[in-house]
Amino acid sequence: MKITQNSREMSELIMKNPIFIVLFMNTVFSGVLAFSNLYINIFLWNQGASLSTIGVYNASVFVSVFIGTMIGAYTMRWMNSRMTFVLSSSFLLAVFGLLISKEENVIGYIIILGTLYGTAVGLYYSGFNLYSILLTNPENRQLFMGMEQGMNRITAVLTPLIFSYLILYYDYNETFRLIFVMLIIQVIISLFTPKYKSNFNISSLRYKDIWKEYKAVLVSIVAFGFFQSIIQLASSILLFQYVQKETIVGWLNTLFAITGILTLVFISRPRLVKSRMKVTYVGAILATVMTIFLFFPSFSTLIIFNVLAAIALPLIWIPVSVIHYTKIKELACESEVDCDIGLTAHYLLIREFMLNVGRTSFYLFLIMGLDFTQGYHYIPIFLFSLVIPLVIYICNKGLFRELG
């Protein structure tokens, strides 16, 4: 009887606190995202795509993420924040429907595929990032982001393993159909999230003034987007080139995800939460060191690179994201509970735009032929990547000192 009462009390607590619902929804979505980012690229590779073609697909994805974010901002004006998640799932259903129906000729549809996928991701994060600001405060924001990243990592542990064996014993099409089920579950959960409406209007903000005041921070966001794309490619296509088996790629990505979870547990300690700038500095040094391994391409150095990336990325980006969101809330809100949702959406849109400029820039290099298999052609990317982690740290030092 007591157990039943405790369970009921826990259920009531979760339902009354939308943060838990949002995190649960995001866990399901991150499972879909983990599968898509890893296996869609490999699926396209298996269908005969070159690195240049993969570059075209991913560039169309990241251009469309920004478009999706903007559509999401207007969706919150015309309808409400919940609808961003419903529309996102609809676009993802179209993505996997296209993959199933055009399996053998999918290379001819990569721009459409990338556009649908990017729009879906942008729509989702336009709503989720807004919740990340409105439902948190300076005291619990790093804990929330740590929990979000932790759940993402857990799904990143399970997703590669489960789906790699589904692909092995069934095929890609059957696996894509399972994603349909996950998307329906995500939509159902999203119906229990808070409903926010905004007065978003893209012409109402002075973008030149924001650039002048926060130029360094915006440059760091572009740099991170570029760096993140290198890591995404290194953990999928580059690994697959060596092993040629989805199951091995799945096991390796599970290893990377477990390493990331241990890192998140480490930086969630109260003492480290208060030392964000030092944590970011350590992450920047580690990320610089790990990039050196890319100058000596082999299967073993690629594994070392990805393990170190699983440690360095949370060390850099969680503290940096916390201060970015804190600053956005400071600019858009008169208090912790009184926020201009339209203005908040504006700042988030700018941040998402800069991230995707960086991500798209990397894949444009691939499209131009500066890939990882053409001798010395890849060196410009790596040389640029060597300075990125410290650029991120230096560009955010002022904000760290201001916000603590």
Q: Which two tokens stand for residue 137?
A: 């405060």
Per-residue pLDDT of the chain (404 residues), as tens digits, is 444 444 454 444 444 578 888 888 988 898 888 888 777 887 787 777 677 788 888 889 989 998 999 899 899 989 988 999 999 999 999 998 888 887 677 788 889 999 999 999 999 999 998 888 888 777 777 777 777 877 877 787 777 778 777 777 777 777 888 888 888 999 899 899 888 888 777 766 677 777 888 888 999 999 999 998 888 888 887 888 888 887 888 888 888 888 988 888 888 776 766 688 899 999 999 999 998 888 887 899 999 999 999 999 989 988 998 888 888 888 877 766 667 777 888 888 888 889 989 988 888 877 776 554 554 556 677 778 888 999 999 999 988 888 76
Q: What letter would DSSP give residue 102?
A: T
Domains along the sequence of the chain with CATH: 2-403 (1.20.1250.20)
Separation CA 286–CA 358 (nearest Å):
21
- Main-chain dihedrals φ then ψ at residue 333, nearest 5 degrees: -125, 140
What does the CA dihedral 254, 255, 257, 263 come to, rounded to 10 degrees? 160
- Neighbour count for residue 268 (Cβ, 10 Å): 18
pLDDT of residue 5: 46
Helix axes 2-16, 18-35, angle to 10 degrees: 80
The CA distances from residue 35 to 322, 328, 357, 371, in Å, are 26, 31, 23, 24
Amino acid at 44: L
- Neighbour count for residue 213 (Cβ, 10 Å): 12
Q: Which two tokens stand for residue 394?
A: 């230096």
Q: What angle do CA 134, 138, 142 make, to 5 degrees?
A: 90
Name residues whose C-beta falls within 8 Å of residue 196's C-beta, 6 or more positions apart in sequence.
76, 80, 81, 130, 134, 341
Q: How many helices (H) and strands (E) does the chain have?
A: 17, 0
The CA distances from residue 351 to 169, 195, 251, 334, in Å, are 41, 23, 33, 21
pLDDT of residue 366: 74
Question: Hey, is 404 helix, strand or coil?
Answer: coil
Alpha carbon of residue 245 to chain centroid: 25
Quick one: 247 exposed, middle or buried, by C-beta within 10 A (0-12, 13-18, 19+)? middle
| Helix segments in 135-236, DSSP class H | 141-169, 172-190, 207-213, 215-234
Separation CA 4–CA 137 (nearest Å):
32
pLDDT of residue 173: 77
Question: CB–CB of 322/145 below 8 Å?
Answer: yes
Q: Give me the sign of the Cα torsion angle 23, 28, 57, 73.
A: negative
Around 233, how many Cα atoms within 13 Å sit in the side-chain half-sphere?
Answer: 25
Separation CA 135–CA 144 (nearest Å):
9
Separation CA 347–CA 366 (nearest Å):
30
- DSSP assignments along 219-250, one per residue: HHHHHHHHHHHHHHHHTTHHHHHHH--HHHHH
Separation CA 123–CA 96 (nearest Å):
17
Separation CA 278–CA 315 (nearest Å):
9
Q: Which two tokens stand for residue 143?
A: 């804990």
Question: CB–CB of 62/113 below 8 Å?
Answer: no
Quick one: 241 exposed, middle or buried, by C-beta within 10 A (0-12, 13-18, 19+)? middle
pLDDT of residue 38: 75
Q: Which two tokens stand for residue 10?
A: 């826990």
Find, among 317, 163, 142, the residue nearest to 227 by Cα. 317
- Neighbour count for residue 274 (Cβ, 10 Å): 11
Question: CB–CB of 133/314 below 8 Å?
Answer: no
pLDDT of residue 7: 46
